[in-house]
Amino acid sequence: MPNDPVMLLSFINMKLRDEYSSLDDLCDGFQVDKNEILDKLEKINYFYDKTQNQFK
């Protein structure tokens, strides 16, 4: 998983769009801490939208 927040945003949104039905499923699949992802992306002002299953 990319370490750079902007690259992480692109990677996560692509995976959510193409392969995972939720952020929880993605985190389980990659065995990563959901809060770590949320924190990294919040620092660049992106927040998870459950209804659209993407960070915006």
Residue 4 DSSP symbol? S
Rounded Cα distance between 19 and 44, Å, is 24
Which pLDDT tens digit goes with each residue over 12-51?
999 999 999 999 999 999 999 999 999 999 999 999 999 9
Rounded Cα distance between 41 and 49, Å, is 12
Per the CB < 8 A criterion, the answer to whether 51 and 37 are in contact is: no
* pTM attached to this predicted model: 0.94
Q: DSSP labels for 8-46?
A: HHHHHHHHHHHT-SSHHHHHHHHT--HHHHHHHHHTTT-
The confidence band for 11, taking pLDDT boundaries of 50, 70 and 90, is very high
Per the CB < 8 A criterion, the answer to whether 37 and 12 are in contact is: yes
